[in-house]
Amino acid sequence: MLSAVMVVEGVLRIPNTEAHYDTGWGLYQALAKNAHLHLLSHIWHEHEIALWLARRSITGHQSYLHAPEPGPAGRLEALQRIRSQRIGALVLESDPACAAAELAAGWNTALFSSAPHIQSPQQGASDRRIRPWEDLAEAVERQQDLRRLSTQEPP
């Protein structure tokens, strides 16, 4: 039976939110039924992820791996613990740098990428990214230049 490791952040859970990706949830459900599924996160410890999953009635994974640090080194350390159990697995990864390191270390890796998360109006304006003043000023200048060019008569 296939073994798979799903990185929680960016595959199952939308980063920096409590929400999940519908596609990631669908992958979770399919893999939990047809594979030995393991979850991996560097943000949450086991009791925190268990609570998040329970709130969503997401069950069926075999184990949980906590990466000691973000990035490739932390992911590889966590994956090494599962490899020591003689489990070769497909890793569902959301970070291209981590995916490259995992491939180099001999892991079969699928890079999961999704469209940027669009915030709903209920999430409030405080969650939105604030654009730097220089970017705003540059955009206004570009628009003014385009208006000037469009009003000039051709030679």
Over residues 18-73, the pLDDT tens digits come to: 888 999 999 999 999 998 999 999 998 888 888 888 888 888 898 899 998 999 99
Distances (CA, A) of 1 to 25, 36, 141: 20, 7, 59
- State residue 130's pLDDT score: 67
Burial of 95 (0-12, 13-18, 19+ CB in 10 A): buried
- State residue 54's pLDDT score: 87
112-135: average pLDDT? 62
- State residue 86's pLDDT score: 64
Please, what is the average pLDDT of the chain? Answer: 83
Q: Greater confidence, 40 or 140?
A: 40
Q: Which of 21-25, 62-66, 139-143, 149-153 has the lowest mean pLDDT?
A: 149-153
Instruction: Round to whole Å and give the CA distance between 30 and 10.
Output: 18
State the Cα angle at 103 between 101 and 106, rounded to 5°: 110
Architecture per CATH, domain 3-111, reads as 3-Layer(aba) Sandwich (3.40)
Domain boundaries, the chain: 3-111
- State residue 117's pLDDT score: 57
pTM exceeds 0.75: no
Q: With a cut of 50, say whether residue 122 has pLDDT above it.
A: no
